[in-house]
Chain A
Amino acid sequence: MTEYFVAALDQGTTSSRCMVFDRHGRMVSIAQRVHQQYFPGPGQVEHDAEQIWRMVCTIMPEAIADAGIDARQVVALGLTNQRETTVIWDRHTGRPVHRAIVWQDVRTADIVKTIARDIDAVDVTARTGLPLSTYFSGPRLRWLFEQNPSLRRPAERGDILFGTMDSWLLWNLTGGVDGGVHATDVTNASRTLLMNLETLDWDDKMLAIFDIPRSMLPQIRPTLGNFGTTQEPIEGIAVAAVIGDQQAALFGQTAFDAGAAKCTLGTGSFLLYNTGAEVVQSRHGLISTVAYAIDGEAPVYALEGSIAVAGALVDWCRTTLGFIDTSPEIETVANTVTDNGGCYIVPAFSGLLAPYWDNAAQGLVVGLTGYTSRGHLARAILEAVAFQVCDVVEAMNSDAGLSARSLAVDGGMTSNNLLMQTVANLLGVPVVRPMMTETVALGAAYAAGLSAAYWPDMAVLRRNWQRAAEWLPAIDDSRRTLELAHWHDAVRLTSEWGRARR
């Protein structure tokens, strides 16, 4: 009897990976490539979309070969991606006309400031669920047109196409210049500042605000649905789901219903809280977003706490401070001391996202003395990740009107035991990791597998969820309160420093 599998393509901020999963949601193979980061100026981050597509062409056949299976045994592909990253390309040559502008990039600060003067911020949030911020794609498109006005005409004719990373890859996977599917899904579209959260269609008023022609936009489809069939690099696999990476992680944690939440620790860190059929407007700095939509069913929404810099801070430590060779070694260095030695780091590299939404904030290191060692800095780096998680969990608790009794975590950084213990200590509740830390890819596979009827229903997937590890709080309340107070002092200073230098 032939065994069948699902594949997931996870195009992330630092790497792209393809994974094959079996019927029990267990990873069979993984192939991965790291792509280049471009930093053309302060606060600017770009990717080469063509390089990313070439890597996808390598890792897909590699993962299938590693699994020891034939491509015909892959019943469906789920595509998941870094969100908000903006690609524009020429429909006829298939080539990008600008490097992809990454979600961490804050070059649109002035555009956002100008627009904010003329419009009603409350109306924007009511339509899109989002605050007006450099974080999202809409302002980037406007920036591209301002930089190069000659793009406007071809964009109006539909010769220049826009997409987030999912649309770019889907278009290429399904044939590119030879009839590639130009579409996106609701989760990705909900991160553009251009989609109406109620109608799940492009919002004419938002398009007018950013002056963006509808003709260049991808068609918005449900998350689980028909996205065509692959032509490249392997022919004939049904693309059965497209889903933004954080929503995919929520799906991978099987947090399908209202009240369930997860926190993914990757390059950034993202807390998503499922609010069911209801669009909840946060009063504490979270954003409203689509969790997923199934073709023919009502969409499911979520509140999200987005943290721009988590693993990216460790990565910065590796490349810039240089006292570690690989990111996981941060734990080794941090374990050479028992506390932060009074040192705190606020990584406001692109301002601060949730729950502060301060575009102007600038990062800082405080509490330096001659006593401060690498170990203390390493601790402060890991604690910065944990403190930010605490901030968004606190916001979620306030919005939900109740306190989370535990936190489900996933993502690459959950292999860091010291970080997980620190999160548990500072949150004061247990932190739980499931058996599969790569929930982004798993969630995309789940979505595709459900869509293609590889799995009959969500209940089957829920039974796959198994706890792999749990960290319990191990500091007392007074210490926790004191540490959080120090952190909030430091956060306040980043805002003041940034404001004074505008």
Chain B
Amino acid sequence: MYAELMPVAVQSVERAATILRLLAAEPEPVALSRIADAVGLAKGTTHGLLQTLLAVGFVEQDPNSARYRIAPAVFRLGAARIDLNLLRSRAINWTDALAARSGETTQVAAFRDGRVVTVHHLVPPNASGKALDGGPETPLHASALGKILLAHDVGAYRTIEGITLDPLTFHTITDKVRLDRELARVRDEGWAAEVEEHEPEMAAIAAPIRDHCGSVVAAVGVAGHRDRICDTRGRPRQALLTLVVRAGRSISRELGHGRRQ
């Protein structure tokens, strides 16, 4: 019975899977000729398969080199993207508490459609930060929130590959090697900071928000005047850091992280 129902293996699906495995194993984009060699097919056939994989969003092509690599969407297969309004509704109690405790502008942001999207933000009456409504977009490389997203979202990281990082202030990290080192630190320590990297005299601290699977889906943080956010050595104040990291953990728990419902 079972044998009769077993369909014959579809060759092109097998080949597509081989290409995906190859690309997933390669840290750098791969040229068409190498892919064709690796799967043992003619370049024309391989090109056809790659075009289909491009069309379904499993593979992307590096615009400069025309080489292929695996698309970030493949890493997210099986993990539904969180609705941003749902995220706001789950976060609001904790962002309220964070804003009340810190007295600073509080923001939740996620990476969507190639940019940082503000999900929620509030400005306590005596906050030193200005309202973010209608303000400039949050730069990935020069903001605490952006660094959290860069550190954990391959899609976000890829948007800054191959482009020159704008120096927004004297302190902005524009060197990729330095930025990579900074992002590794962000992953290690579980928080990110920005000190006059986006705007002079302003600083911010951010922490990751994780979903029930543990994937980072957004970032939460506070921003304000450097003298209120940082100590005299220009390091984020420990008390504030603790508040932000805790808020990130609490929101993650609301989303089911480490909590069996």
Minimal beta-carbon separation of B224 from chain A (angstroms): 16
Q: Using Cβ atoms and an 8 Å threshold, which residues of chain B touch A1?
A: none
CA distance A425 to B85 in the complex (A): 20
Q: Is the CB of B83 within 8 A of A328?
A: yes
Q: Using Cβ atoms and an 8 Å threshold, which residues of chain B touch A332?
A: 83-85
Q: Which residue of A lies closest to B84 (CB)?
A: A332
Q: Is the CB of B93 within 8 A of A437?
A: yes
A109 on interface, CB distance cutoff 8 Å: no
Q: Is the CB of A437 within 8 A of B86?
A: no
Q: Using Cβ atoms and an 8 Å threshold, which residues of chain B touch A329?
A: 83, 85-86
Give residues in B with beta carbon < 8 Å to A: 83-86, 88-90, 92-94, 96-97, 99-101, 120, 122, 124-125
CA distance A438 to B97 in the complex (A): 11
Given A26-B101, A466-B124, A467-B125, residue A435 in contact with residue B85 (CB < 8 A): no
Given A27-B93, A30-B93, A468-B122, residue A331 in contact with residue B100 (CB < 8 A): no
Minimal beta-carbon separation of B118 from chain A (angstroms): 11
Give residues in A with beta carbon < 8 Å to B: 24, 26-28, 30, 325-332, 412, 415-417, 435-438, 466-469
Q: Using Cβ atoms and an 8 Å threshold, which residues of chain A touch B90?
A: 328
Other-chain contact of B100, A325, A327, A416, A466 (Cβ < 8 Å): A466
Given A468-B122, A469-B122, residue A435 in contact with residue B96 (CB < 8 A): yes
Q: Is the CB of B99 within 8 A of A468?
A: yes
Q: Is the CB of A416 within 8 A of B122?
A: no
CA distance A135 to B97 in the complex (A): 35
12 inter-chain pairs at a CB distance below 8 angstroms, sorted by A residue, are A26-B101, A27-B94, A328-B90, A329-B86, A330-B85, A415-B85, A436-B96, A437-B93, A437-B96, A466-B100, A468-B124, A469-B122
CA distance A28 to B243 in the complex (A): 11
Q: Is the CB of B92 within 8 A of A415?
A: yes
CA distance A74 to B85 in the complex (A): 34
Other-chain contact of A26, B84, B85, B97 (Cβ < 8 Å): B97
Q: Which residue of B lies closest to A334 (CB)?
A: B85
CA distance A27 to B83 in the complex (A): 25
Q: Is the CB of B85 within 8 A of A328?
A: yes
Q: Is the CB of A416 within 8 A of B89?
A: yes
Q: Is the CB of B85 within 8 A of A27?
A: no
Q: Is the CB of A328 within 8 A of B124?
A: no
CA distance A450 to B83 in the complex (A): 40
Q: Is the CB of A328 within 8 A of B125?
A: no
Other A-B contacts than A326-B86, A329-B86, A435-B100, 8 sampled, CB-CB below 8 A, are A328-B89, A415-B88, A415-B92, A435-B124, A436-B96, A436-B100, A437-B93, A438-B93
